[in-house]
Amino acid sequence: MESLRLLAQDDAAGGFAALFVMCCFGLFYLLIIVLVIAGMWKVFVKAGKPGWAAIVPIYNMYVLTEISGKEILWFILTFIPCVNLVALVMICISLAERFGKGAGYGIGLALLSPIFFPMLGFSDARYTPGKG
């Protein structure tokens, strides 16, 4: 009987530990989302677009395509599986060039957006519409 009581206590402790870990991961994920949104918001404002567009899921990609100077076709390509990765990289490279950055920075924007969008948004980089 005593062993059953100890087993029940271990299960409860394991459940609380799992809940704690899930809460920590959830908070970490939320922090990453907030960082990306804040960075995109600043990038949009620098480009003369409304910052709130960063929080509207499909519209933010449309605005990003518009800021980068790409045609509407590139936005449509983001909906096609596998092709969307190439389209996103090309859009981000063009976006980086509009802010005076290189192709490597654009690849970073596409693949490591939680790091590169805040870096671009909060830096002193200026948007130039004619380039890209």
Per residue in 28-37, pLDDT tens?
999 999 999 9
Q: Is 11 inside a domain boundary?
A: yes
Percent of the residues in the chain that have a pLDDT greater than 90, as a whole number = 81
- Look at residue 131 and tell me if it is in a domain: no
Residue 49 lies in a domain: yes
* Residue 5 in this model has a pLDDT that exceeds 70: no
128 inside domain:
no
What is the tens place of the pLDDT at every residue in 73-83?
999 999 999 99
Q: For position 16, what pLDDT does the model report?
A: 82
Reported confidence tier of residue 65, pLDDT bands at 50, 70, 90:
very high
**Alpha carbon distance 132, 120 (integer Å):** 16
Q: Is the residue at 130 inside a domain?
A: no
pLDDT of residue 3: 54
Structural domain boundaries enclosing 18: 2-121
Q: 132 in a domain, yes or no?
A: no
pLDDT at 129: 86
Residue 95 covered by a domain: yes
Q: With contact defined as beta carbons under 8 Å apart, do 122 and 42 qualify?
A: yes
Q: What is the DSSP string of 44-64?
A: HHHTTS-GGGGGSHHHHHHHH
More confident residue, 102 or 11: 102
In the chain, the percentage of residues whose pLDDT exceeds 70 is: 89
Domains held by the chain: number: 1
Does residue 127 lie within any of the structural domains? no
